[in-house]
Amino acid sequence: MPELPELEVVKEVLQRRVVGTRVQACEVLPPGGALVARDLTHRGLAEAVTGAEIQSVERRGKFLLFSLQSPSDSSLFLVVNPKLTGRLQLAVPGQKRLARTHVVFSLSSGAELRYVDQTRMGQLYLTRDLALVPDYTSLGPEPCSISLDEFRVRLKGYYGEIKGILTRGELVAGIGNAYADEILWAARIHPYRKRNRLTGDEIEHLYQAMQSTLQDAIAKVRAEMGEEIHREPRDFLAVHMKSGQPCPRCGTPISLIGANQRVTNFCRTCQPGGLIRGM
């Protein structure tokens, strides 16, 4: 699942490559395109965006927001929520399409912007009103800009295990399963510690780990991804999806709880305090 670091770099690339271009054509490919493309304007996605200029690309949490202006509609937004497997790809016409390519935007620059999604869980919303996009307006602050004091206050409103709380977009926007593991490892906090059992010092360590982990990851993704925005470079991660490998800090084999993409990885030596059995 692309999270804040990957999407921040995708945004940077798109700001360089597509802002100022016009959508010359839009193709929604059956059968999956009709499922992922949600036209909240009821004009038809292809009809509404054809001829529109891409004025800006921004990231908000795990959403990408394209601001469009067309001769017939001056305030359109294309909001991409990639969820588990959604990706954007920049390609040239004639380049072989990746499997499960669902929407293709042909741009005036000669490039194509393609939306690819193996599980068709993500969505592209075309709307005039961002409040209509599910989960968008409920997002909390960006984790790299929130202050420690505000983080402490917001955290008090949540109960339960700290990993699950970190991935709540209402607390802070953009942290998912992978980077929650990385942040908690950096902070030396067990993922299943209860929020109300964290000390003041631990909350400060968590805040600092959140800031440094995400900023470091952005830099590493930027270096490894380049212009290939459909890639998700994560070899640099310390614990997530590293089950059984030695902890980079102490050498203890990384533990695993869960299965498939919904796994939790942590170090039982560096992150003590849990009694849950794992592998």
Residues catalogued as catalytic:
2-3, 62, 262
Which residues touch 259 (CB under 8 Å, ≥6 apart)?
none
The letter for the amino acid at 96 is K
Residue labelled with tokens 């969820």:
83
Which tokens in the block code for residue 90? 């920049």
Number of H helices, E strands in the chain: 7, 11
Residue 113 near residue 36, CB atoms below 8 Å: no
State how far the Cα of 173 lies from the Cα of 167, in Å rounded to an integer.
8
State how far the Cα of 141 lies from the Cα of 17, in Å rounded to an integer.
27
